[in-house]
Amino acid sequence: MSRTDDGRCDSEERLWEGGPFSCSHKRLLPLSRQICLLLSLVAAVFGGPSQPQYGYAPPPSHEEPAKYDFNYAVKDDYSGNDFGHQEARDGYDTQGSYYVLLPDGRLQKVSYNVNGDSGFVAEVTYEGEPQYNPAPSYA
Residue 135 or residue 99, greater confidence? 99
The predicted structure's pLDDT at residue 87: 97
The answer on pLDDT for 27 being more than 60 is no
- What's the CA gap between 10 and 2, in Å, rounded? 6
Determine how many CB atoms are found less than 10 A away from the CB of residue 9: 20
Task: Report the distance separating Cα 35 and Cα 30, nearest Å.
Answer: 9
Instruction: State percent of the chain over pLDDT 90.
Output: 38
> Using one digit for the tens of pLDDT, what is the confidence trace for 46-69?
776 666 667 778 887 778 888 999
pLDDT at 10: 54
Query: What's residue 50's pLDDT?
Result: 67
